[in-house]
Each structure stands twice: as C-alpha cells, then as structure tokens.
A and B are shown apart, each in its own frame.
Chain A
Amino acid sequence: MRHSARLSPVIVGVLAALLLAVGAAISAPAFAQERSGQAPASDLTISVSKSDVSTLTGETFTFTSEIANSGSSATPPLIANLAFVAIDHSTYVDPEDWSPQRTLSVAPIAAGSSAILTWTVKPVLKGDVAVYVVVLPEPPALAGAGPLAASPAIPVHVEEHRTLDPGGVLPVVLAVPGVLALAFAGLRVARSRR
C-alpha cells in the first residue's frame, strides 16, 4: 500500500506529461507539422474587400481577398479556392457557371506579408448565396493538414435580369421563316402556272 502510494504521484505525472504531449500533437497546425519552420494555418487570416453584394443575374462583380501571414515563418505554397453555398436552401449553384476561375495558386507568403487575389463572379440564377475563399497548403504539406483558413462569407443577393425580352424577339422568330415559306411557295406556284 505504502509502495503504491509513493508511486501514484509519479504515474500521475507521467500520464499528465503523456496527455500534454499527445494533446499538443493533436492541436498542432498541419502546416507547421509537415514542414518545420513554416507558418501554421492559424497564422493566416483572410479578409475580403466586400461585406455584401446585391446584384442581377448575368452581371459580373469582382472582389479581392487578402491572405495575411501573421506568423513568424513563411507559408508553404498555397491553393486558394472560391466557394459558393446557397443560403436560401433553394438556389442551385453550379460553381463552374458562377466563376470562370475558382482556384488560384499562391506563392509562399513571407512572415508579416500578404497576398492579394482578385475573384470574378457572374451570378447565373436569382437567390441568396454566400461566397467565401478558403486557403489550403499545396501537397505535400496538405497531408494531415488541420483546420483550413477561410475568409468571412460575403452574402450575395441576386435578382433576376433578362438581357432579351422574349416578347421582343417573337415577331422575328415567327416572321422570318413564315415570310420565307410564303415567298418560296409563291415562287413555286407562279412557276408551275407558267
């Protein structure tokens, strides 16, 4: 009993040290884990140039995102991705249609520096959509990466806009084939009567 009582503080100490080591390993950012001396994801902050956007379908808008490295070491090469989420639960968003270039490569950002990226968005359908930028490290630093750095979401409200009036084109759509058919039929009739 006495022997075990003497050992118990040692066991508790060893377990506590083990837990601390494992905990530290679990919470360590993947960016730093893979490449020692590189800034962890938690050192990256992404800000965007717009807080909200109200636009029309087919109208292009642009915004910039600034990726700042507040850490003490450079980041690995990064990949920035533009993401879309329908926040009205009804708008179908096919990202390919909404932005021609949604993935950009970012060169390593030195400590205390930042990189600015410009994004172009062309809403295709009306509705409410959130747009945000997420940054992840390029492989091999990607393997086992922890939480990724993401920008604040930009709420985008899209109203429908039509560049063409269906009623406006209808006369042409119907008249041209009609006139041609009548002209050719008239020509044939006139020719057969001769």
Chain B
Amino acid sequence: MGLQNKTVGVGSVGCGVFSYEYFNFDGVGPSHGRAPAVATGVKRVLPDRLVFTYQGDGDLAAIGTTEMVHSAVRGENITIIFINNTLYGMTGGQMAPTTLMGQVTTTTPTGRGRQQGFPFRVCEMLATAEGAAYIARVALYNPVQVNRAKKAIRRAFETQMAGLGFSLVEVLSACPTNWGLTPLEALKFVEEKMVPVYPLGEFKVPEEVKS
C-alpha cells in the first residue's frame, strides 16, 4: 500500500510485547490493554498516518476491554489487529475470556466450565457499534485462509485511510506450545474447535472498500 513511512504501530503486553522490534516502522509500547487509547492519541494528532494496534486476546478481550469497546463506539479511525489464540500465551497458557468451553488451560485444569463463564465473541459485539466500519474474523490454518486474512487486513487499512471509521480484524491463530499440540495438530484445532465457536467472515464492510 506504500504506507511504511506513514505507519505507526502500537503494541500490546503479552507475546506481542516486542512487536515493535519485528516491524520496520515507528512503534509505541503502551501499558497492558491500553493500545487503542494510545492509537487514538496518535491518530488524532496525525490523522493522515496509518495507525494500528496488535493485541492478543488477554490484552484486548480482558484487560483492555474498555479501550477496545469505546474506541469502536467513538468510531476512532484506527485499526485493531486482534490475535485470538484462546489463552494468555506469554505467561504460560492461563484461561482468557476467549478460552473454549471444556478447554484445559493451566488455570482450568479440568476444562473451562460454567463457573468461568463463556467464550467472548468480540467481532459480533463490536459489529453492533455504529462507529465500527469494518469488522472481520479470519483464521490461519491453511494457505487459503492466510490469503483471506491478508485481504481482510488490507481492507481494514483501506477503511482507515479512507477515513471511514473503526476497523478490527480478529485472527484465530495457533498456540502449539501452550495447547500442548504439534504445529499441525494446532492448525487442526483452529479449524475444528475454534472456527465453530468463532465463525469466520466479514461482519461489517463499508461499500467503499468492497471492490
């Protein structure tokens, strides 16, 4: 998109905490869950830049729920890339709000039960916000899906650069280490266990980026 020199990435706390070390553009490392608030500030001061956050499910759907919801409600012209792997990865695989029912984690050794609540569907909730312009869920379990993910992220960025409002792409991704699976088994888990709970697709697409 020719935007590298105009991009500001906002990281998160978790496995993505050093994301600014892996990208070759400007970056900010905010406090846990606060990335959309920081991105809001950067974007409002520099409205012609591409500003996005990279957040896991612990950061976005637990600790940073307020910032995530209200940046969508306000219709902030930022993009959130939300990496959902059903648990807190960096700290050793604890239950997150996105953990599947029955899923074993270090804090739900007998599987997530009713007492721990239910999986949090972020896209479905944010799609009800008027300020949200582009909302999509993609998964990374085979090359076709990877290509769809790429297209969704591009559309989200196009939505932002056209000034249409808030955009979020949820990316269902594997965590073989904390799931205790081989990489191949982990991809299967995404496809067979996660997708039924977190259906893929575009929940909201502005006309302007549909082509």
- Decide whether A and B are members of one complex: no
Residues of B at the A interface (CB closer than 8 Å) are none
